[in-house]
């Protein structure tokens, strides 16, 4: 699903937190969004997901305003996901149950996700008792189990160990590949940007400051904007 944003502004009181002139997200690819804290990334994701309607401007998905069909075909994963007070298996099966899918198909699709993200050992554990990283894995599994056409990910792999990160990135690539899912990924991890994204956006103070291929963006960000931003990233890696 391609996304078109036109003159999107979002204010909290007098403070403008989002001010996007014109911005397109191409269908079928993984687009990365980077930018400093408070630059409006999460705000933008919530607006695209239809969770926040208090903005001005036009948001079009596949050339249309969000309608029920589009709404059912997209999802957003938060950095701190809310899991339902039931076991991991039923959390993952939940979106399928909402769609009146046949029981055996629910079972096979859920099991496929459990395998893909290696959740076998915790599949019968209550989701509320999971560690932070496990929760993020379950939230990702729950988001891709129904094969959405648009997948919005807001820092889905913060606090994730390197191996699990690989697992999750594979899952993101997998759904993008087999389902042509359009993915928008907010991350502070430059290496992740390299590994999974083909296009990138740099946000600053509520604006889309740069967009282009990942290497173009990184080159520009390095020169024009905060060299700090990359240095910080590198220094945390070295630690």
Ligand X SMILES: Nc1ncnc2c1ncn2[C@@H]1O[C@H](COP(=O)(O)OP(=O)(O)OP(=O)(O)O)[C@@H](O)[C@H]1O
Residue ranges binding other proteins (CB under 8 A): 49-51, 71-73, 75-78, 81-82, 84-85, 94-95, 98-99, 142-143, 146
Read off the DSSP letter of residue 159: T
By CB under 5 A, which span of 39-47, 56-64, 107-115, 171-179 interacts with Mg ion? 39-47
Torsion of CA 142, 206, 27, 212, to 10 degrees: -120
Minimum CB distance to ligand X smaller for 40 or for 95: 40
Q: Is 157 in the site for Mg ion (CB under 5 A)?
A: no
Among 1, 31, 32, 42, interactor with Mg ion by CB under 5 A: 42
- Residue 121 is classified by DSSP as G
Spatial neighbors of 219 by CB under 8 A, at least 6 apart, are none
Rg (CA), the chain: 18
CB of 124 to other proteins, least distance (A): 17
Give the residue with the Cβ less far from other proteins, 68 or 163. Answer: 68
Residue 95 Cβ, how far from other proteins at the closest point, in Å? Answer: 4
Smallest distance from other proteins to CB 209, Å: 27
Q: How many degrees, rounded to 5, is the angle at CA 156 between CA 129 and CA 150?
A: 120
Q: In what order do the strands lie in the sheet with 15-25?
A: 15-25, 3-12, 56-61
Choose the contact partner of 12 out of Mg ion, other proteins, ligand X, none; CB within 5 to 8 A by kind. ligand X
Q: What is the SS3 assignment for 206? A: coil
Q: Which is nearer to ligand X, 17 or 221 (CB)?
A: 17
- Chain residues in the site for ligand X (CB under 6 A): 12, 17, 35, 37-43
Please state, in angstroms and rounded to a whole number, the distance separating the CA atoms of residues 90 and 16: 40
Q: Which stretch binds Mg ion (CB under 5 A): 16-24, 35-43, 59-67, 109-117?
A: 35-43
Q: Residue 200 and residue 102: Cα distance in Å, rounded?
A: 38
CB nearer Mg ion, residue 42 or residue 181: 42
Q: How far is the CB of 68 from other proteins (least distance, A)?
A: 8
Other CB atoms within a 10 A radius of the CB of residue 126 amount to 15
Q: Would you tell me which residues interact with Mg ion (CB under 5 A)?
A: 42
């Amino acid at each position: 699903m391609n996304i078109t944003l036109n003159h999107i502004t979002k204010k909290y009181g007098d403070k403008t937190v989002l001010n996007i002139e014109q911005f397109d997200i191409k269908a079928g690819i993984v687009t990365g969004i980077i930018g400093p804290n408070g630059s409006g990334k999460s705000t933008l994701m919530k607006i695209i997901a239809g969770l926040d309607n208090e903005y001005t401007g036009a948001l079009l998905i596949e050339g249309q305003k969000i309608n029920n069909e589009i709404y059912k075909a997209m999802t957003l994963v938060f950095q701190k996901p809310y899991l339902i007070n039931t076991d991991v298996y039923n959390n993952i099966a939940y979106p399928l149950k909402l769609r009146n899918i046949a029981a055996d198909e629910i079972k096979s699709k859920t099991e496929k996700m459990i395998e893909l993200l290696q959740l076998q050992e915790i599949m019968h554990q209550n989701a509320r008792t999971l560690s932070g990283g496990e929760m993020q894995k379950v939230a990702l599994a729950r988001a891709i189990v129904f094969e959405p056409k648009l997948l919005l990910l807001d820092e889905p792999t913060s606090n994730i160990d390197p191996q699990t990160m690989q697992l999750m990135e594979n899952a993101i690539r997998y759904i993008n590949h087999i389902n042509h899912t359009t993915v928008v990924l907010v991350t502070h991890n430059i290496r992740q940007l390299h590994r999974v994204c083909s296009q990138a956006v740099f946000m600053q103070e509520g604006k889309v400051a740069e967009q282009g291929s990942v290497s173009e963006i990184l080159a520009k960000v390095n020169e024009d904007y905060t060299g700090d931003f990359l240095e910080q990233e590198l220094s945390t890696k070295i630690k």
